[in-house]
Structures are given as structure tokens and as C-alpha cells.
Amino acid sequence: MLDLKFIRENAEKVKQAVKNKNEKTDIDLILSLDEKRRSLLTQADDLKHQKNVVSDKIALMKKQKQDAQEEIENMRKVSDQIDSLDKQIKNLDNNIDALLFTVPNIPHSSVPVGFDENSNIVVKTWGELPKFDFEPRPHWELGQILGILDLPKAAKVTGSGFIVLIGMGARLQRALINFMLDLHTKKHNYTEILPPYLANRASMTGTGQLPKLAEDMYLCEKDDLFLIPTAEVPVTNLLRDETLKEDDLPIYYTAYTACFRREAGTYGKDTRGMIRVHQFDKVEMVKFVKPETSYDELESLLQNAEEVLQLLNIPYRVRVLCTGDLSFSAAKCYDIEAWASGVRNYLEVSSCSNFVDFQARRMNLRFRPKAGGKLQIVHTLNGSGLALPRTMIALLENYQTEKGTVIIPEILRPYMDGMEEIK
RNA sequence: GGAGAGGUGGCCGAGAGGCUGAAGGCAGCUGCCUGCUAAGCAGUUGUAGGGCUUAAAACCUUACCCCGGGUUCGAAUCCCGGCCUCUCCGCCA
């Protein structure tokens, strides 16, 4: 969330950001509630001061065996007044907090202004689109031919929107996971994390999934725990409510987890195959950095993710999201989209975002500057590195042969006992 | 799931209704002293909100001894609920 003081002092800038992000929230209402709150707070603080002074006096009088009955009577009234003011203030606090959760992060000045995804800008394309002298098949056909992907069985076990990988399909995905984790830990210096797949409300609120995206998550009501929609939630929240030393930063974490999304409201979109599913695997990268470095860190995060596709030799493009397509918490975001020859489309396999101080403020994650002075808020970033199903789709469809077999990219062969082809 | 014990500042650790933002120690910072180091002496040391200020610092003030309620003129301290940690028992991959 944004700092209330910042909103107070930059109201116009915030209103513009709300508009550019197609969000709706009443900044003026927040400001008027805030003003009311501060005036009540001053009154309450004055009374509390009086209470503290007189309480000391009563203690002294009692000690000297004097009668303090009059003071006690008076203080009873003052306490009642304080109670009433505190209740009003708390009420305002709750209202203000609820409203603050509806104020989006402010886009960085380099982010193009635009209404929806049509205004996203392609900033890079990499690789040659593969050419086929036959009609390339979509992955669900390849999966069926090879017996490595079974959607009907997944539907039987759980329901639509789930997948089951079998044999070399499962093995290929495991190879990809290991390859990605090895790349990020060994070459890019991320620390590997294996976090819980369930997270509590405080964590969900910390990274911003709550309150806005509650409908898109699976909730275990009995224990009030959510299935994580991304490793970002448990991994970022590892440091919630902590005060780091400046020398601790930057911190790089990478994690493989399953991710669970209800995808409410997306029925009918990308329903075939495994383009959009309720449970998928993902390798995630999370960074905690000093404020002045966060935009450089975003670029290197993007490169770390791109390198996965480069090593797999899968063509892709990178788009910078415009203000209207940018998520609520992000200040800037790049999408990486891998080309998939069978479905003839670019598929989003990664989103690399800089949240600047937006998440960390919510999470109360700060660091102590070496030079002294006030505690500063850490900047957080994350990006997929990468989402597995769509990477699998691109791999299967781009590396297919006319017979319906799939060549295994060289970089993965060591993870597959040297196997060269799935047939 | 049952029975106990406990959660206090950067750390250790006292306090058991008012004199406690919190003793004492350690660590840190600042002086003094010393050829250097160590020791010693003195002082100092949290976070957040509000006020004042162009802004910051200073200053004033409020809150914070796991979290949320309650009792009381007054709560770290008493009562209730929750969370977490530890020990023992049961169950279990």
C-alpha cells in the first residue's frame, strides 16, 4: 500500500495513477477521513496526557494518605471521553485502512500509459520461429499420441482445468524444474527455498492477494488457510515484520512450488490443453533490494528469466505492460511470452515485476541504513523463472517432428539420462 | 488431541497494580584517559502516530513489555480469548 502521508502530500499524482490503472477509489474521501482522524487524535492525546499527569498525582496523594476521591471521580469522566474518542478513531482507522487497500501502486515514469493490453509495448524479440514442412500439432494432440498428457483422467480424478502428466511427460517437467533451479541457484546466485503451499491471511494480505483477489484463491475454511497462487506469497512473507541490516541486501530467493488458482471469470478462455489450469508448477524468483537499485534489479531479474528460454532455444518476446494492464501492486512489469508453434501463439510464461516499497510497507519489512537515520523500506521484486505448463507447451510444440515425437533440447538431456527424443 | 511451562528492548535477564520506556549485564555509539591494543571512567542508545516546522533536526505529546478484549482513577503486572515456543503423553506419513 501507499503511505498515507505520501497520499496527503501528492494527492494529484495518486489520482492520476488510479486513473491510468483503471482503478476506482476515492482519494478525496481518504483525505477527509484522515483529516477528521488527526483532529480527534489530537483531542484524545491531550486527554491521555491529562490522565497520565493526574494518575501520578493520585498515586502521590494516596502515598501521603490524602483523600483523592475528587480526582478519581474526575478521571472517571475523562476516561469515558477517551474511550469514546478512541472508538471513533478506531472506526476511522478501519475505514481508512480499507480504502488504502484499494489504492494501487503508482506506475514508474517509464511505463507507457494505456488502457489495456493493446497498449503494451514489445521491447524485445528473441530467436527464430521454427519452420515446419508439415502442420505442427497442438500440445494436447502430441500429449495424447505420446501418452504423456492425459486430460480426461485429470478430469476424472479432480475436474476440468487439471492435468496429469505420465511417464516421460512427468519426467520432462521434473527435468525442467531441476534445470531452472540449477540455473538460478548456481549461476544467478539465488538461494533455494522450499516453502509451505498453504498461507494464512496475514501473508496473503502482505503480498496483496487479499483483499482484492480473494475470489481467485482456494480457501481451506476449517483452518482459514489459502492454497498459494504463487510462491511469491510464502517466499516474500518469509521476511514479513523484519528489520534487516543494510548489508543483508540484496537477498535473492528462488522456489519451486505448485500454484493454485480458481481462475474465476476466465471460463471459455484458453480452455484446451494446459494453457490455463487450476494447478500448475512454477519456479519463482524473489528479490529484496535497496530502493536505489530496484530498477536495475528488475532488468537483471528479467534477464535471469529470459536465459531459461535462451538455453532451451525457445523463441520469445518481451513486453512492457502499460499502466492499464499493470497489476495493482506493481510499479513496472515485463511479461515474457514464449512462442508455441502448435497453438500459433505467444504464451505468457513469466511476469517480472518491481513493487518498489508497496508490498514491503504492507509487510512492515524495513532495513537499517548503515549511515544511520530512519529505517527505510525494502524494495521487493519477483518474476517467474518460469511457469512450467506453458514452457512445456512451447517445448513440445516447437520441438515436435512430423511423426509426433518430440526432440529433447540438449540442455535438458543430462536431466533425462541422456535421452534425445520422446517417442 | 490431552497435561504442564513460557513469550519483556539488538541480545541475556529482573520486575508481579502507581515512583517502569522499563533495573542489571552484554553489545553499540560519544567523550576522557593511554605510545598502540586491552582495561578503566562519564554520558548516550528503540519503533510508530500526532503536534510544531517550508522540510528536516530539536522540542512537546500519545502508543507499544506476543496479539485482541476486559477489570481499574491507573495494567508489562490482575481476568478472559487467540497465536507461537518448549516438555511429557496419545495418534500418525
Any domain includes A109: no
pLDDT score recorded for residue A211: 81
Same structural domain, A58 and A124: no
Between CA A184 and C1' B7 the distance (Å) reads 38
Between CA A220 and C1' B2 the distance (Å) reads 26
SS3 at position A50: helix
Footprint of strand B on the protein (CB under 7 A): A 4-5, 38, 41-42, 44-46, 48-49, 51-56, 58-59, 62-63, 72, 75-76, 78-79, 90, 366, 374-375
Residue with cell 525457445: A314
CB contact set of A68 (below 8 Å; sequence gap of 6+):
A57, A58, A61, A62
CATH number for the domain that contains residue A59: 1.10.287.40
Any domain includes A132: yes
CB contact set of A10 (below 8 Å; sequence gap of 6+):
none
Same structural domain, A204 and A55: no
- Our count of domains for chain A comes to 2
Same structural domain, A80 and A131: no
Strand A379-387: give its sheet, edge to edge: A121-126, A316-320, A332-340, A345-354, A379-387, A279-289, A251-260, A191-193
Between CA A94 and C1' B73 the distance (Å) reads 29
| Integer CA distances (angstroms), A129 to A23, A126, A246, A256, in order | 37, 9, 45, 29
Identify the band that residue A268 occupies on the pLDDT scale cut at 50, 70 and 90.
low
Q: What is the pLDDT of residues A368-390, one digit of tens each?
A: 888 777 899 999 999 999 999 99
CATH number for the domain that contains residue A406: 3.30.930.10
Predicted ipTM? 0.88
Between CA A338 and C1' B86 the distance (Å) reads 51
Most confident range, picked from A83-87, A160-164, A298-302: A298-302
d(CA A63, CA A324): 68
Same structural domain, A324 and A275: yes
CB contact set of A292 (below 8 Å; sequence gap of 6+):
none
pLDDT score recorded for residue A342: 96
Which nucleotide has the shortest C1'-to-CA distance from A46? Answer: B61
Same structural domain, A152 and A55: no
Same structural domain, A22 and A121: no
Identify the band that residue A10 occupies on the pLDDT scale cut at 50, 70 and 90.
very high
Which nucleotide has the shortest C1'-to-CA distance from A372? Answer: B29
Q: What is the pLDDT of residues A226-256, one digit of tens each?
A: 999 999 999 999 999 888 888 889 999 999 9
pTM for the whole structure: 0.92
Same structural domain, A52 and A178: no
Mean pLDDT throughout A32-50? 93
CB contact set of A102 (below 8 Å; sequence gap of 6+):
A23, A24, A25, A212
Of the residues A38, A68, A100, the one at which a domain ends: A100
Any domain includes A107: no
Same structural domain, A368 and A251: yes
Q: Is the pLDDT of residue A199 over 80?
A: yes
Beta bridge partners of A255: A193, A284
Reading the block at residue A355, the C-alpha cell is: 513493487
Which nucleotide has the shortest C1'-to-CA distance from A54? Answer: B73
Any domain includes A110: no
Any domain includes A403: yes
List chain B nucleotides near protein: any atom < 7 Å from a Cβ.
18-19, 47-51, 57, 61-63, 69, 73-74
Which nucleotide has the shortest C1'-to-CA distance from A375? Answer: B47
Residue with cell 484446451: A272
Cis (ω within 30 of 0) for the bond into A211?
yes
Any domain includes A183: yes
Q: Containing H/E element for A30? A: helix A27-63
Domain that includes residue A45, residue range: 4-100
Q: Is the pLDDT of residue A67 over 90?
A: no
Same structural domain, A28 and A136: no
Any domain includes A40: yes
A205 φ, ψ (degrees, to nearest 5): -75, -40
What's the sign of the alpha-carbon dihedral A360, A361, A362, A365? positive
Q: Is the pLDDT of residue A344 over 80?
A: yes
CB contact set of A294 (below 8 Å; sequence gap of 6+):
A354, A356, A379, A381
Mean pLDDT throughout A72-82? 91
d(CA A3, CA A302): 28
Reading the block at residue A7, the C-alpha cell is: 497520499
Of the residues A48, A70, A100, the one at which a domain ends: A100
List the end-to-end C-alpha distance of chain A, in Å, as a whole number: 51
Which nucleotide has the shortest C1'-to-CA distance from A57? Answer: B18
Q: Is the pLDDT of residue A264 over 80?
A: no
Q: Are A111 and A317 in contact, with CB atoms under 8 Å apart?
A: no
Which nucleotide has the shortest C1'-to-CA distance from A47? Answer: B62
Of the residues A40, A67, A100, the one at which a domain ends: A100
pLDDT score recorded for residue A269: 67
Identify the band that residue A266 occupies on the pLDDT scale cut at 50, 70 and 90.
low
Mean pLDDT throughout A290-312? 97
Same structural domain, A148 and A44: no
- Distance from the Cα of residue A58 to its chain's centroid: 54
Same structural domain, A167 and A84: no
Same structural domain, A92 and A148: no
| Least confidently predicted of A46-60, A131-145, A166-180, A264-278 | A264-278
Between CA A194 and C1' B32 the distance (Å) reads 54
Three-class DSSP labels, A368-398: ECCCCCCCEECEEEEEEEEEHHHHHHHHHHH
Any domain includes A106: no
Residues A163-177 as b or e (16 or more Cβ within 10 Å = b): bbbeebbebbbbbbb
